[in-house]
Structure 1
Amino acid sequence: MNAAKLLFAVTLLAVTLLAFIPTYEPLPEIVSFSDILNHFAAFFTLYMLHLFAYPAFSWRRRSALLLGYGVLIEAVQAFLPNRYASLSDVAVDAAALTAAMLLHLLVYRLRARRA
């Protein structure tokens, strides 16, 4: 296993553990800035790491897999004590994946112009 695949796997495991550990807030916040930032950072990072670990994947396949992972997290959280599912979290995940994809496309095009 190369370093990029290992780093992706470790990051995926860390995000999964953080998503499933119980929280101890008395009531869930509907939308908090830190939650938005956490989701955005996690899924942006996962996209970029997956890009280096599995470069043969198309952006569609990569995005679909990672968004499916985000939906799975929310589905599991619906059944965990002290956790709750949120469509807004999935929307932030999708926004992060889109931002990462657009950054990748921009870098790709800039590199192609130089060549």
Structure 2
Amino acid sequence: MYTPSSRIRTLFKAFFLAALVVGTILALIPSNGMGVKHVDKVQHALAFFSLAALLDIASLRRYWQWKVPLLLGYGAMIEVLQAFLPWRSFSVADWFADALGLGLYWLVWWWLLKNRLPHR
């Protein structure tokens, strides 16, 4: 099993926090979308896949017991904040896309761990 060094974890904590700040700003500013129906769901899934990867490297805590609830809570917070903005809207479907990104990250990591990474 891969365990990053303390130095690597510290670096990825900074990347994770920066991604949270940028993600929050992007989620709250006005957006005209990309003109393609449902592309925002793909963006949500990719964003949360990325956040999961950064957090997974940054922290040694358990994925399903600590990291997933934290990131799902962050996604829910963003959706609630968007409900109060006239240029954004609350969407349960966006939150499900966030959850899908977290699940996809876990599946990719599990597949790599089982099939591609050298075993010790």
Given the two structures, how large is their TM-score scaled by the length of structure 2? 0.81
Question: Structure 1 counterpart of 2:111, which letter?
Answer: L
| Unaligned 5+ runs, structure 2 | 1-6
Map of 1:21-100 to 2, 5 A cutoff? 21-23=29-31, 32-54=37-59, 56-60=60-64, 61-100=66-105
* C-alpha RMSD over aligned residues: 2.3
**d(CA) in 1 for partners of 2:37 and 2:44?**
11
Would you say how many aligned residue pairs link Structure 1 and Structure 2? 110
Residues 56-82 of structure 1: CA distance to partner in whole angstroms, max 9, x if unpaired?
211111111101110110011000121
Sequence identity percentage:
35
Q: Distance in 2 between matches of 1:3 and 1:95?
A: 26
The residue that corresponds to 1:103 in the other structure is 108
Q: TM-score, normalised by structure 1?
A: 0.84
Residue number in structure 2 paired with 1:3: 11
Contact 1:77 1:83 in 2 (8 A): yes
